[in-house]
Structure 1
Amino acid sequence: MSRAHDHDVIVIGSGFGGSVAALRLAEKGYDVLVYEAGRRFADEDFARTSWDLRRYLWAPALGCYGVQRIHRLPHCLVLAGAGVGGGSLNYAQTLYVPPKPFFTDPQWSGITDWEAELAPHYATAQRMLGVVENPCDGPVERLMRDTAVELGTGASFRRTPVGVFFGEPGRRVPDPYFGGEGPDRTGCTQCGNCMVGCRVGAKNTLVKNYLALAERRGVVIEPLRTVTSVRPLDPAHPDEGYAVHTVRTDAHRRGRRDPRAATARHVVVAAGAWGTAQLLQTLKATALPGISDRLGWQTRTNSEALGGAMTVRVPRDVDLTRGVAITSSFHVDETTHVENVRYGKGSNAMGLLAVMQVDGGGRVPRPVRFLASALRHPGDFARSLSVRRWSERTVIALVMQTVDNSIVVSRRRGWFRWHLTSEQGHGEPNPTWIPQGNRAVRALARGLERATGERSRPGSSIGEILDIPMTAHFLGGAVIAESPDRGVVDPYQRLWGYPGISVVDGSTVSANLGVNPALTITAQAERAMALWPRRGEPDRRPKQGEPYVRLTERVAAGADG
């Protein structure tokens, strides 16, 4: 590495991909700097409930620097994370290995046997994230089990694998995972507020594992810095390094942008699928025109929908909020997976996005059918608008599919600035509603009514009424491919045309998983970083355009240290 650079590697983002890159490259001897657009949170800094918008919601222009991002495209409403630790701060810590269709998707299946190649890295990711089977069991979990039986798929019911420290509830103990190298931990109290931010300290966020260990090895993390550009130091020879330009994320509050630039031989882009899409689309239009024209293609929503069953009231002896965020799941059919989701007591703000359920399809536009339903059932409509004790009387249903559908995301000039937009892409049309999911939600509502003795009705998200489904798992757009005319990064997750830049986040997930993607993003990042050489040693990865060589068996066996 040339000492002409400020750092060996600059990592953009501190979510699942960026945290893996920071730790593993530091272990290989690299000097690593991490830029994170969000703020740093201690456990006590998280919002107590989702109504504390300044700590919960991400809207810097309004002075909100929380963990929950909400973005809109014409074809979906996107929920994402923000802060040091990225999506791990507000995700539901649900860590499934995806089913076989993900590994055999035509987009990337011709490169290698991905199921076998990623297997050791899934195991590493599970160990690092502290995956255990959820022990929580209560009325919601029984409802999910009964619903699966009613739908004829009882054998598919299972408790979720989660990344949570289930020690003695509320008791703080020395690091139980990494031989004392990690931070102290506190046992889970099953308060249900995982997705608002774990104030207890039980959730295995990236701050508790990868990032904590990376900082012990000298990695520097600069929060509240937004990357605006990545430029080659010599455009004719981009392999000589890059200048990464940043400004203060909180410039609205501070009154100054404080522009800076730092240089590095290598850059790792790990800003999350949304942040990476924004950055790479801008770079292709400005500093890095050689980025593949497939940028934005194969963007996925995990073929996802959010619905739920809501009862008028809950008896005092029934607590729907007790447990971690997601505790169980079942399959409606071979492609459709349903999980229960909860928020803790008092966290009712997301209820503002909930509405009565109305099926899609047919000749009559869904907004018209929704209005007709509201007029036919004014009482149900009025109750659906109330968020009083919403988290305590609602079972949210997260529906995901392995179906091959996608959108194309691109950059468009708006009235005041550039923004991302979308259109239908490869495969089946991106679903505006999922019939199997609606059927499962109706069954949940019937079961909830039987369990509580109170009137219960199925619900949906407000975006679906406008045919804009909501997704918590925005993926793809910079997918893996054997050539730049099919994807954006090569099999080693190097940017086609700019091998000094790697992309290691959800934007490289190349197919719908049908399960929560965090474990897969982590495993793919582990594999990509395992293939990097140690600092100062030869790079055994083939040059771009040369035949793919499977290196991971030796890496997994420790041949590369």
Structure 2
Amino acid sequence: MDYDFDYLVIGTGFGGSTAAHRLTQKGYSVGMMEMGRRWSAETYPRSNWHFHRWLWRPMLGMKGFFNLRWFKHVLVLHGNAVGGGSITYANTLLVPKQEIWQQGSWAGLKDWQAEMPAHYASAQKMLGVTENRILGPADHLLKEAADDWGCGESFYKTQVGVFFGDEGAALGKAYPDPYFNGEGPERNSCIACGGCMVGCRHNAKNSLDKNYLYFAEKQGAQVFAETKVIDVVPLNGKADGEDGYEITTVSSTSLLRRHKRRWRTKSLVFAASSLGTQDLLFKLRDKGSLPNISAELGRRVRTNAESLIGVRLPGEQNMDEGIAIGSGIYLDDKTHIEATRYPRGSDAMGLLVTAMTRGKPNWRRVFVWLYTMLKLLFKAPKQAVTSLIPFGLARQTVIFLCMQTLDGHIDMQYRRAWYWPWRKRMVSVGEPIPAHIPEASEFALRTARRLGGMAGSLITEVLFNIPATAHCMGGVGMGKSSEEGVIDSQNRVFGYRNMLVCDGSMLSSNLGVNPSLTITALTEHAMSFIPQKAQVVEVA
């Protein structure tokens, strides 16, 4: 067969870049299709108020790297770029607790606790994981609040993918490649500007274009940016994909010129993020291109049982100094909180913030919110008005990212929504995910009272009972068969040959920590089963 590539990888995030690096290492030709744009220090936005360079809504002229997708049950925050979520994520690379392998649909498929440590070690080495060396004011505030709560002993400095340089050296100093024996790119040490989530303009963040993706391209992988996959069809009528696949792509950013192309590949890796891969597989199954995809597709989508809350302090503050997530604590065995920050001037997320509201997550909570706001306006009018104005949010606020290991989930389906009956789309179904974590909210309120600040949460949680998450996981879970999952324990798609899934959609239980390291480690695990490419020897 005449193939364009041995492997075609859809997506360039943690799973896609890891797969591409290991595949090119083994001698395979690799093409990578990425819907987002390629970014550099020169093109990153100065703040997230530059919507056209921060948000991803290409049909509205916004071609940034940060996306929000609103479902009935959850608001999902995720990345869209060459390098995937690594461009906008908060650098945090934590190994989850061991019990996550005994939960969810992957439990019992393998001896994960024996197999995974080696793959975590490979991922940590490639991503340059190290302990945070810069504690900012928000981190010290978190420690004080934890001491006051009685869990101060759980305080820790995060494991992060950031280059800090030599101890005692000037911040921002240039260094030759510090990670890969001179084979990688030059780097600069972190200057603690807090800008990790709006794109690191100082060459200190270990995003994928500095490691896995960098080497994949160096070894021959070809990246096609601003390219969207719209169809995948098995070649030669072989329903299981034995002879490979034909991939159809169009431009993801052009309104008029679609630049439609077709590609042939022997093997295929879906790595388009949890939402992206689910959405694409739903469409391909629905149109009959890949009809054998398991009925388990879209089942057990998890959000890390997450809540975004915070405390806004009065007056001039410097909560923006440090790295995006510099420290964390455990309120209890199930509840994990991290101190999070945006850089000074990047206050756009404040448009989604309001005063924290107690109460059960139902329609009555709206009236409790109104009472809370009126009470605040009467007792502290200046603080109340400030809470409604986003400007100054980044420097005045310590954001508490709360995650739990509780095993709640929703399901996704592909159907016509009542509000948009003209075409099918992915919609969430099932019981609501809790949008209010009482212990975390009480922690924020107690901290606010002690410091004279105001506790806040996302308005979607208060008014609509919809939590937000930056860690959408699952939907293409592992199982023993197609009756229990979409992929097997080696990430191979049931019903097809030469097809794998390597992204957040494969995660099959709530991790309770940021998932990037686990996505990378599980992809390392999947790639360990791919043999070296056989060399064809010509005989004279």
Query: Which residue of structure 1 aligns with residue 334 of structure 2?
Result: 335
1:472 Cα deviation (Å)? 0.5
Q: What is the one-letter code of the residue matched to 2:15?
A: G
**Equivalent residues in 2 for 1:531-546, closer than 5 Å:** 531-536=529-534
Match of 2:538 in 1: none
Residue 305 of structure 2 corresponds to 303
Could you tell me which of 31, 34, 41 is aligned with 1:33? 31
Mind listing any 5+ residue stretches in structure 2 that lack a counterpart? 536-540
Cα deviations by residue, 1:30-64 (Å, 9 ceiling, x for unpaired) = 11000000000112211111111111111101111
Determine the structure 2 residue equivalent to 1:292.
294
> Are the structure 2 counterparts of residues 363 and 199 from structure 1 closer, same or farther at C-alpha, using a change threshold of 3 Å?
closer
Distance 2:359 2:41 in 1: 41
Displacement, 1:106? 4.1
Q: CA RMSD in A?
A: 1.5
**Relative to 1, partners in 2 of residues 1:499 and 1:433: Cα closer, same or farther, differing over 3 Å?**
farther
Return the alpha-carbon distance in structure 2 between the equivalents of residues 233 and 360 of structure 1. Answer: 56
Which digits, 9 at most, give the CA deviation of each residue in 1:469-515, with x for residues without a partner? 00000110001111111111011101111132100000001111111
Aligned to 1:487: 485
Whether the 8 Å CA contact 2:433–2:467 is kept in 1: the answer is: no
Specify the code of the residue in structure 1 equivalent to 2:277: T
Partner SS state of residue 319, structure 1: coil
Secondary structure at 2:410 match in 1:
strand
1:262-308 Cα distance to aligned partner (Å, 9 max, x none): 01010000000111111011111121111000000010011101010
1:177 aligns with 2:183: no
Q: Give the C-alpha shift of residue 362 in structure 1.
A: 6.8
Separation of aligned partners in 2, 1:250 and 1:500: 30
Following the alignment from structure 2 to structure 1, what is the Cα–Cα distance between the partners of residues 257 and 104? 48
Deviation at 1:364, TM superposition (A): 5.7
Q: Which amino acid aligns with 2:421?
A: W
User: Per-residue displacement from partner, 1:389-418 (whole Å, max 9, x unpaired)?
Assistant: 110100001000100110001112233432
Where does residue 22 of structure 2 map in the other structure?
Answer: 24
One of 463, 477, 482 as aligned partner of 2:460: 463
How do residues 140-151 of structure 1 correspond to structure 2 at under 5 angstroms? 140-151=138-149
Partner of 1:249: 252
CA distance in 2, matches of 1:329, 1:244: 43
| 2:357 aligned partner | 358
Q: Which residue of 1 aligns with 2:46?
A: 48
Tell me the equivalent position of 2:374: 375
Q: In the TM superposition, what are the counterparts of 1:309-328 in structure 2 within 5 Å?
A: 309-314=311-316, 318-328=317-327
* TM-score (ref. length: structure 2): 0.94
- 2:520 aligned with 1:514: no
Distance 1:40 1:364, change over 3 A: closer
Alignment of 1:47-446 (within 5 A): 47-167=45-165, 168-237=170-239, 238-252=241-255, 255-286=256-287, 287-314=289-316, 318-361=317-360, 365-378=364-377, 379=381, 380-413=383-416, 414-424=420-430, 430-446=433-449
- TM-superposed CA distance for 1:313, in Å, is 1.8
Between the aligned partners of 2:120 and 2:509, the Cα distance in structure 1 is 17
TM-score, reference length from structure 1: 0.91
Match of 1:542 in 2: none
Measure, in 2, the Cα distance between the counterparts of 1:30 and 1:363: 53
- The range that moved more, 505-514 or 433-442, is 433-442
| TM-aligned CA deviation for residue 363 of structure 1 | 6.7
How far did residue 467 of structure 1 move?
0.4
CA drift at 1:173: 2.0
Q: Is the partner of 1:228 in helix, strand or coil? A: strand
Deviation at 1:97, TM superposition (A): 0.1
Report the AA paired with residue 71 of structure 2. L
Rounded to whole Å, the distance in 2 between the matches of 1:412 and 1:359 is 35
One-letter amino acid of the structure 1 residue matched with residue 505 of structure 2: S
Instruction: Tell me the equivalent position of 1:472.
Output: 470
Q: Does the CA-based 8 Å contact 1:360-1:432 persist in structure 2?
A: no
Whether the 8 Å CA contact 1:480–1:508 is kept in 2: the answer is: yes
Moved more, 133-142 or 476-485: 133-142
Partner of 1:529: 527
- Structure 1 window deviating more from structure 2 (351-360 vs 19-28): it is 351-360
CA contact (8 A) 1:311 1:394 kept: yes
State the AA in 2 paired with 1:68. F
Q: Distance in 2 between matches of 1:270 and 1:344?
A: 29
Change (3 A) 1:438 1:504: same
Q: Secondary structure at the match of 2:299?
A: coil
Tell me, in whole angstroms, the C-alpha distance in 2 between the residues paired with 1:172 and 1:63: 36
Distance 2:134 2:364 in 1: 41
Contact 2:411 2:475 in 1 (8 A): yes
State the 1:234 CA deviation.
3.1
Q: Structure 1 stretch 130-139 or stretch 70-79: which is displaced more?
A: 130-139
**Code of the aligned partner of 2:91:** Q
- Cα distance in 2 for residues equivalent to 1:164 and 1:21: 22
* Distance in 1 of aligned mates of 2:182 and 2:206: 15
- Counterpart-to-counterpart distance in 1, 2:435 and 2:135: 33
Q: Structure 1 CA distance, aligned partners of 2:290 and 2:388?
A: 47
CA distance in 1 between partners of 2:83 and 2:212 (Å): 9
Q: Is the 8 A contact 2:361 2:436 kept in 1?
A: no
Contact 2:344 2:395 in 1 (8 A): yes
Matches of 2:210 and 2:140 in 1, distance apart?
A: 32
Structure 1: segments with no counterpart, 5+ residues: 450-454, 538-561
Mapped partners of 1:7, 1:505: distance in 2: 21
- Partners of 2:15 and 2:206 in 1: how far apart? 15
Q: CA contact under 8 A between 2:408 and 2:433: conserved in structure 1? A: yes
Residues 473 and 63 of structure 1, relative CA distance in 2, 3 Å threshold: same
C-alpha distance 140-262 of structure 1, shift in aligned 2 (>3 A): same
Superposed displacement of residue 328, structure 1? 0.6
SS at match of 2:42: helix
Compute the displacement of 1:368 (Å).
Answer: 2.0
CA distance in 2, matches of 1:494, 1:138: 43
